[in-house]
Amino acid sequence: MKRNYKVILIVLALSGIFVAFRQQQTAKNKEIAIITGVQRVIEYAHYHPAFINNDFSEKVYKEFIKDLDPSKRYLLQSDIDSLTVYKNSIDNEIREGKTDFYQKAYAIIQQRQAESIDYINDILKKGFDFDKDEILNIDYEKIKPAKTKAELKERWRKYLKFNTLSRLYDKIKEQEQKQKKDSTFKPKSRKTLEQEALKATKKSIKTYIDALKDMEEMDYFSMYMNAITMQNDPHTNYFSPQSKERFDTSMSGSFEGIGARLQKDGDFVKIVEIIVGGPAWKDGKLKVGDLIQKVGQGDDEPVDIMGMRLSKVVKLIKGPKGTIVKLIVKRVDGSIETIPITRDRVELEETFAKSLLIKDENQTFGYIYLPKFYINFKEQNQRSAATDIKKELEKLKAENVNGIVLDLRNNGGGSLATVIDIAGFFIDKGPIVQVRDKKNKIDVLKDQDKSTIYDGKVVILINELSASASEILAAALQDYNRAIIIGGKSYGKGTVQNFIGLNRIMGDEFGDLGALKWTTKKFYRISGGSTQRKGVTPDIIIPDNYMYLKVREEDEPTALAWDKIDKVRHKTYEIAGKSKIITHEQQRIDTTSLFLHIKEKARWIADNKKDNTIYLKLDKYINDLKKNEAIGKRFDSLTKFESNFEIYSLPIDIKAKEEANDTIFKTKRDKWIKAIKKDPYISEAIKVLEKEG
């Protein structure tokens, strides 16, 4: 969103609150300054201010304990018992500028982590019996804290056994594959393979221990701050100076790595986005939803990243252009794969809006992919999602297309200003979204431009990962009856955040205090309902792999509630035969074998995620993997879908790239076109356009 005078007023108001504090508290340490600054923002400036009371205190207590030891391999029940005295007093500490709870918890986790290193070394010296029938339970939510150090050590033993067992299995498979290729190949004995697997585990664990030792106190303090801030809502977050620096780097649009966005998922790290044009996208093997289990550098033995901080995993994956990183990932179907990716420079250019032409019999349609609502706030004359979409629409109009598909799947949002402009390209003029602040003041943001860039048929594709700005655009064009929305129910993020450096509030005498992103407003459709939690429900719902997974805003425990306000007057357009199209297409989709199969797979994926048992006996471990692989093969037919459309780049784009001597444009486009031909959702979007009069 554009920075405006209201943000400045908030900053000035907050600064006034802290004048007296700064004069009286100059001797306080950096952590006290941070916690006090955060407290004032979440209590006074947040859209839904927190009531910092005993209930708030207990929630912070539980969240921080969980974050300190998510896999329950460090803290004893007695440790947690010793901290319970703070359960109802953290609120008082926050107000009084104290950190007693945090300091004691930090001291305990440091002690237990040091002890765990001794457990690990002792366990690895003894090795493992892979014929012993036992299991590892990874349902950490239900596992109770260990009562004794012996119990903690046993948890480490099983974890390390699993770690080594997975390596042993990989080595056995490698031997089998070599035997198939070469009948003269002499496989190594199982004992030798066990020794090699154990050696690899020792090397991997050493890296893990080193990473653990590398963690600074500020890493833990940031964890504590976020346990506090996220009680307001999931999108209010504290950024330490280091994490703020990483955030700024990520926003710069250029870095060297694999081109994938990551997110912590239990002990592992999940792929949540593949950046178009990046190395992972070009390679095509890494998929959204894959869980990274290990990371290797070149030919080195992969490092186990279970339980490792996300920042450390990112550091392992990033690296100089031309070097190779190996990712061992667990697919959503349960299979394990090793994916080597050559790092390269990831340019923002590849994430800008772009378009193609799709021809089916005697009709030609335009397809526009918009990965996010980008804008350069520092240089207003630079390209943005709005300026680029306008250009793509004008180019497609020049080709006399019979309709346009706007693909907002996996688009997590971005600049609100660009949404207003883009929505305006499809309507004469009028309201686009309503925004309400904490004082219940409602602003109606409008498209003031009477001109329309494109007045033809429009279908918008969304899914469960279409969020925020994507939802505003889809909702607005749905309310105007200007487009048919198809796909999966969207994410449901209907809130606005601002970013503020805590030094602007607290002054500079404490050094760099980092920054806070906090929720200031809420979005509402022009029809009155909020997009918060409920998101946007498509006119035509199409099953996908995410449909039964808990990935939406409504699955976040601290997500703000849905509500509604009065609608605003707006024009409605007419889509010829819309009701019949929706009824017919929904019935067809609901009975099409392809989508019934996708729905079946989605259910299986959701059920498979509930399986928290890992077998630690070699033959049972292998049988379990083979069973999952066999089930997964039932869905191999889904990868065989391919439309009969003729898909090609716009002539004007080809000419521009030739003039710019872009030698890889055709390669990238061919790969993109191939992916689109195999995308059944785009195929459905075209079918809907064909049905419109």
User: Residue 297: which CATH number?
Assistant: 2.30.42.10
**Catalytic option among 91, 479, 539, 679:** 479
- The verdict on 271 and 419 lying in the same domain is no
Strand partners, 363: 360
CATH of the domain at 489: 3.90.226.10
The whole-number average pLDDT for the span 652-674 is 87
Q: Go through the chain and tell me how many residues it has.
A: 693
Give 153 or 204, the one with higher predicted confidence.
153
d(CA 534, CA 545): 19
Quickly state the pLDDT bin for 208 (edges 50, 70, 90): confident
Domain closes at, from 231, 260, 276: 231
Alpha helices by DSSP H, listed for 127-267, are: 149-181, 190-214, 217-229, 241-251
Q: Is 640 inside a domain boundary?
A: no
- On whether both 250 and 225 belong to a single domain, the answer is no
Looking at residue 383, what is its pLDDT?
Answer: 80
Tokens matching residue 585 = 């297409």
- Placement of tokens 């990932």 in the chain: 329
For residues 446 and 423, give the distance between their C-alpha atoms in angstroms, rounded to a whole number: 10
Please check the confidence at residue 261 and state whether its pLDDT lies above 50. yes
The separation between the first and the last C-alpha atoms of the chain, rounded to the nearest angstrom, is 37
Give the pLDDT band (50/70/90) at residue 259.
confident
Same domain (yes/no): 244, 216: no
How high is the pLDDT of residue 21? 40
In a domain, 213, yes or no: yes
Residues 206, 338, single domain; the answer is no
Which of 327, 323, 326 shows the shortest CA–CA distance to 342? 323
3-state secondary structure (DSSP) of residue 547: coil
Q: Number of structural domains, the chain?
A: 3
Q: Check whether 4 has a pLDDT greater than 50.
A: no
Given this model, what pLDDT does residue 213 score? Answer: 76
Whether 55 maps to a domain, the answer reads yes
Residue 254 pLDDT greater than 70, yes or no: no
Catalytic residue among 166, 468, 490, 530: 468
Do 334 and 381 belong to one domain? no
Which stretch of DSSP H or E encloses residue 405?
Answer: strand 404-407
Cα–Cα separations (whole angstroms), residue 278 to 70, 299, 347, 648, 670: 32, 22, 7, 21, 15
State the pLDDT at residue 13. 42
pLDDT tens sequence across 603-656: 999 988 888 999 999 999 999 999 988 888 889 889 899 999 999 999 999 998
Q: Which of 179, 214, 231 is the last residue of a domain?
A: 231
Q: How confident is the model at residue 14 (pLDDT cuts 50, 70, 90)?
A: very low
pLDDT one-digit tens code per residue, 569-578: 999 999 999 9
Asked if the structure places residue 604 within a domain, the reply is no
Whole-number Å distance between alpha carbons of 338 and 323: 16
Question: Does residue 625 belong to any structural domain of this protein?
Answer: no
User: For 14-19, what is the mean pLDDT?
Assistant: 44
If one counts every other C-beta atom within 10 angstroms of the C-beta of residue 194, the result is 22
pLDDT for 29 equals 67
Q: Look at residue 23 in the predicted model and tell me its pLDDT.
A: 38
**Whether residue 303 sits in one domain with residue 220:** no
Whether 253 and 222 map to the same domain: the answer is no
Inside any domain, residue 653: yes
Does the pLDDT value for residue 600 go beyond 90?
yes
Pair (305, 392) in one structural domain: no
Report whether pLDDT(275) > 80. Answer: no
Active site residue 390: no
| pLDDT at res. 301 | 87
pLDDT above 60 (res 550): yes
Q: Which CA distances in Å does 688 have to 463, 607, 692?
A: 17, 32, 7
User: Mean pLDDT, the chain, as a whole number?
Assistant: 89
- How far is the C-alpha of 564 from the C-alpha of 533, rounded, in Å? 12
Quick one: average pLDDT of 436-460? 96
CA distances (Å), origin 48, targets 222, 470, 496: 22, 23, 12
Tell how strand 458-462 and strand 404-407 pair up: parallel
Catalytic residue flag (residue 670):
no
The answer to whether residue 479 is catalytic is yes
The string over 91-107, giving b where at least 16 C-beta atoms fall within 10 Å of a residue's C-beta and e elsewhere, is bebbeebbbebbeebbe
pLDDT band at 104 (very low <50, low <70, confident <90, very high): very high
375-383 — which CB contacts under 8 Å span 24+ positions?
375/414, 375/415, 375/417, 375/418, 377/2, 377/3, 383/352
Asked if the model's pLDDT at residue 344 lies above 60, the reply is yes
Structural domain range at position 493: 352-576+646-681
Token pair 């554009």 is found at 2
Burial track 659-670 (b if 16+ CB lie within 10 A, e otherwise): eeeeeebeebbe
Determine the average pLDDT of the residues in 449-471: 96
Pair (339, 442) in one structural domain:
no
Residue 564 tokens read as 């509604």
Do 312 and 394 lie in one domain? The reply is no
Domain end (from 347, 367, 397): 347
Lowest-confidence range among 139-148, 159-168, 332-341, 384-393?
332-341
Q: Is 420 helix (H, G, I), strand (E, B) or coil?
A: helix
Task: Name the 3-class secondary structure at 406.
Answer: strand
Distance CA 217, CA 110 (A): 10
pLDDT of residue 476 exceeding 80, the answer is yes
Given the residues 158, 171, 489, 493, the one annotated as active site: 493
pTM of whole model > 0.95?
no
On whether residue 420 sits in a domain, the answer given is yes
Structure-token pair, residue 604? 């299986």
Same domain, 381 and 517: yes
Residue 8 has pLDDT above 70, yes or no: no
Q: What is the mean pLDDT of residues 320-327?
A: 92
Q: How far is CA 674 from CA 409, 422, 462, 479, 595, in A?
A: 18, 28, 21, 34, 20
pLDDT at 377: 66
**What pLDDT band is residue 247 in, cutting at 50, 70 and 90?**
low
Structure tokens at 692: 């419109």
Domain-embedded: residue 374: yes
Q: Which residues partner with 340 through β-bridges?
A: 326
Output Rg (C-alpha) for the chain, integer angstroms.
27
Query: What is the DSSP track for 203-221?
Result: HHHHHHHHHHHH--HHHHH
438-447 burial string, b = 16+ CB within 10 Å, else e? eeeeeeebbb
Q: Where are the beta strands (DSSP E) in 572-691?
A: 613-615, 646-648
Q: How far is CA 336 from the centre of its chain?
A: 21
Q: How are beta strands 458-462 and 442-447 bridged, if at all?
A: unpaired
Percent residues over pLDDT 90 in the chain: 67
pLDDT of residue 20: 39
Backbone angles phi, psi at 192, to 5 degrees: -65, -40
- The DSSP output letter for 358 is E
Domain identity same for 507 and 541: yes
Average pLDDT for residues 285-289, to the nearest whole number? 90
